[in-house]
Structure 1
Amino acid sequence: MSKQLSTTFTTTLSLIEQFQKALTTPPTESADAKDTNNIEPLPLLGASATALRAHVTKLSLLSITSPFTHSAIGTVLRELNESVLPSLVTAALLLTPAQYTKAFQSEVLGLVKGVLTELLSLVREVQRVDAKKEDEKSAKSDLSKAEKDIVTRATGRVWDACDVVTDVSSKGVVGFVMRRVEQWRDLVRDAVEEIEEWDPEDDDDEFMDELLGDEKEEESDDEEENAALLEHKKVTLRFLKPVAQLYPAVINNRLKNAGEAPLASEGGIKKLEALMVNLQAIPDHVDEAAGGLYEADFERSAGYLQKTRKCAAAAVDLVMAPWGAADAPADKFTTWAKTWLKVVEEVSKTIGE
């Protein structure tokens, strides 16, 4: 039985490594579309992650509880090999960019690879337990607390990885996008707050200027420079505040209650993808604009504010109309978006002056 279990361990470890490689280079479309048309990837993904969690729980308990039962552990491993792992990986590979966005596909593939990495560690630990039992020639001998803790911690890591996959599968593509947009919203808010709190007069370099002499002339220069910095700070904040307002407006009016509407057509998927690209770029542009402001490089700051404006306006245009047909009737957000574009256009006029 021990030899048979050893073979099963080898099969499981090899299979996990093969699946990891398959997830590294996924197909852009389903290779066997006819065979997978009736499969819903997200429910399968969630169910497989839940099943895997249950199986590793059994595997963990069987390995640390005496007696060490080879047949029971072999059964759990074979079920992983024959059903649970193939289903998990199949579900991940069915999430193609054309149907679920490239960003969501990348997220799920990364999460499932993480699950497999943690599972690989756990199976190796259980394999070591098996080898220890063989060396001691007694399946009834207890493991030390430290040895049990290693298996338990490895199991907990698999649980955590499975829980994340289950959560992502239940929230779906739109839920994933909304979570990302919330993260970018927070980054923009943090940047705006940092600029608001920044005071050019607190620059530590002024202390060194005073020590080096020529105070009067330098004080005059400093005053002019600080005045210019404060004016550019004012212009920057006047522009960035409506940009920061864009994120919660999109979340509340175009994502929170969207359901599956954005996924109903190829056009909706592309729109969702483009929305993410533009909203993700804004925090980086804002950081660069703030950096230019702090360094009194107004040309650089203005350049990145204009890039911010371009991305923000593109994002608004993408979701100006409700999800669905291009001729869908306007709603409150449509009216808000048109007003927002006018405001941003107006405040943009002072950028770079």
Structure 2
Amino acid sequence: MPPKKPTAATQPSSKPDMDNLLSYTIRTQTLLTQLLTSVTNPPTSIPTLPPDQRVLNPLTILRDSGKLLHAHTTKLSLMIMNKPFGAKSMTAELKACVEKCIMGMMGAVDILSCSWHPISPNSDNPGSADVSDQSIWGDMMIREARTRVARVIREMLVMVQELRTLTETEAGILDSPSSDAVSQRDNLSSTGVVWEACDSLVALEKLSLPGLAVMKATQYHQTLKDALAELKEWAEEVDGDEADFSDEGFSDEDDELDAIFGASKRLPKNDTALREQVERTNKKLSSIAVLYQALIKRRLKPFIFTFPPSAATEHTLLRRTKRLNQIIDELKSIPDEVDELAGALYELDGGSAEARLKNCIDMASEAAALAKLNWDGQEDEFTVWSGKWKGSVES
């Protein structure tokens, strides 16, 4: 039985094929660098999405592009691990990675970022002007998609650089590795990281807008709880330190190290006013943490995002999405302010800490006000509860 004819993937690479692969990897590096700059720097002007493209779901495009890139990078990795070096087939796979997958992701990001419904001066649709320049997905989803696509591009840049180095080695431009421990598999160690980045796009499509809002709010809630726990621990541990230890045995060098690494100052045992302020602050922040839980359960989880919306419901969905994003923005800002508040207390700056606490309460109250009514604009149990919460936290 005659031997099988070698396929294109198993045939030794000719010099033109090697030159083409090397040339394409270099061009790909340049292109990916430009795309990374584009996706991480949103345009200042917001384009309008044409009506015929409003049925396109950008999250579905991201999902499909991610799955396809996963498949093509798998093939590329297998080609590199098997001899002989098939430069022509590798070029084809790399082109598919860029032209079909990465460009598809960039197109999806563009669709996400477009405003959904331009309002003409003669529009008789009441309440529509406040969402005329808004994407139906909202800023939160746009930022998340850009972040995840940027990660894919960064990891692809690493992979392409490894492929370029391997190609230059095969072509004799670079010296071969001197150690046998450096294998072809090692040369594509980034493949698995690319897969993870692709999987994150698939996960984003599964989350959709409501799931992303819940995920973000849960993360911010956890950050707030961590900061609150550290603040409580600081206040409690200081008491024990002062009761059980003296300053004997500590040198000036210890004080210098504390200054260098930003060690917290001791909470004076006899400063009753500051201790009462710390206790009051903890109670207020605990109340704000409870608000996060209530918002997640009563407002974020019940949010329904139907895509594509009908002409009759698109403005309603735009307004709901805008309100959802405003709530998330407030919840996002609070943990950062709490960090500043804690820093002020650690420095025993009661005045600054009090101002920071007021900011936290104001932001939490704004989030509660935005969520006062349900998504249908009706009062419910949360409406009543939020009123009581507001009175308590602002008292």
Tell me if TM exceeds 0.5: yes
Alignment of 1:282-301 (within 5 A): 282-301=334-353
Percent identity for Structure 1 against Structure 2: 27
The C-alpha deviation readout for 1:175-203, integer Å capped at 9, x for no partner, is: 22222211211122122223333234345
Tell me whether 1:161 sits opposite 2:213 in the alignment.
no
Hey, what's the Cα distance between the residues in 2 that align with 1:145 and 1:35?
55
State the Cα distance separating 1:24 from its structure 2 match.
3.6
The residue matched to 2:190 in structure 1 has which SS?
Answer: helix
Change (3 A) 1:14 1:297: closer
Which residue does 2:231 correspond to in 1? Answer: 195
Deviation at 1:16, TM superposition (A): 2.1
Rate the CA distance shift 1:144–1:155 in 2: closer, same or farther, 3 A: farther
Relative to 1, partners in 2 of residues 1:79 and 1:195: Cα closer, same or farther, differing over 3 Å? Answer: closer
Three-state SS of the structure 2 residue aligned to 1:98 is coil
For the residue of structure 2 that corresponds to 1:258, the secondary structure is coil
Residues 1:31 and 1:8: Cα distance change in structure 2 (over 3 Å): farther
With the length of structure 2 as denominator, give the TM-score of the two structures: 0.74
2:299 to 239, 248, 254: 254
Alpha-carbon distance change, 132 to 191 in structure 1, aligned in 2, over 3 angstroms: closer
1:33 matched to 2:50? The reply is: yes
1:337 maps to: 386
Counterpart among 214, 224, 235 of residue 280 in structure 2: 235
Residues 61/337 of structure 1: CA separation in 2 closer, same or farther (3 Å cut): same
Indicate the larger mover: 242-251 or 82-91: 82-91
Output the aligned Cα RMSD: 2.9
**Residues 219-259 of structure 1, C-alpha deviations (whole Å, 9 max, x = no match):** xxx6532x333322322223222111011111111112323
One-letter amino acid matched to 1:38? V
Q: Distance in 2 between matches of 1:288 and 1:7?
A: 51
* Aligned counterpart in structure 2 of residue 176 of structure 1, from 204, 209, 212: 212
Indicate the residue corresponding to 1:207 in structure 2.
246
Instruction: Show the 5 A alignment for 1:18-167.
Output: 18-27=34-43, 28-30=45-47, 33-34=50-51, 36-96=53-113, 98-135=135-172, 144-167=180-203
Tell me by how many angstroms 1:312 deviates: 0.7
Whether the 8 Å contact between 1:101 and 1:273 is mirrored in structure 2 is yes
- Check conservation: 1:26, 1:93, Cα contact below 8 A: no
After TM superposition, give the deviation of residue 34 of structure 1 in Å.
Answer: 4.9
Which structure dedicates a bigger proportion of its chain to helix?
1
CA distance in 2, matches of 1:170, 1:321: 27
State the alpha-carbon separation in 1 of the partners of residues 359 and 23 from structure 2. Answer: 58
Change (3 A) 1:168 1:251: same
Deviation of 1:31 (Å): 5.9
**CA displacement at 1:100 relative to structure 2:** 2.2
SS of the residue corresponding to residue 373 of structure 2 reads coil
Mapped pair 1:17 → 2:66? no
**How far apart, CA to CA, are the structure 2 residues paired with 1:26 and 1:13?**
21
Structure 1 residue matching 2:171: 3-state secondary structure: helix
Q: Deviations over 1:285-327 (max 9, x none)?
A: 2233333334443222221111111111100011111113xxx
When the two structures are superposed, what TM-score results if normalisation uses the length of structure 1?
A: 0.82
- Aligned counterpart, 2:320: 268
The 2-side partners of 1:291 and 1:14 are apart by 43
Contact 1:51 1:84 in 2 (8 A): yes
The AA in structure 2 aligned to 1:265 is: L
8 Å Cα contact 1:119/1:158 also seen in 2? yes
Q: Which amino acid aligns with 2:384?
A: T
> Take 1:39 and 1:302, find their aligned partners in 2: how far apart are those partners?
49
Q: Deviations over 1:28-79 (max 9, x none)?
A: 5346625633321110011101111111111111012112222321221232
1:23 to 1:31, Cα distance in 2 relative to 1, 3 A: farther
Which amino acid is the alignment partner of residue 84 of structure 1?
C
1:224 is matched with 270
The change in CA–CA distance for 1:72 and 1:300 in structure 2 (over 3 A counts) is: same
What stretches of structure 2 of length at least 5 have no aligned partner? 1-15, 114-133, 174-178, 251-267, 308-313
On the 8 A contact 2:141/2:209 being kept in 1, the answer is: yes
Question: Secondary structure of 1:187's match?
Answer: helix
> CA contact under 8 A between 2:63 and 2:201: conserved in structure 1?
yes
- Over 3 Å counting, the alpha-carbon distance change for 1:51 and 1:308 in structure 2 is same
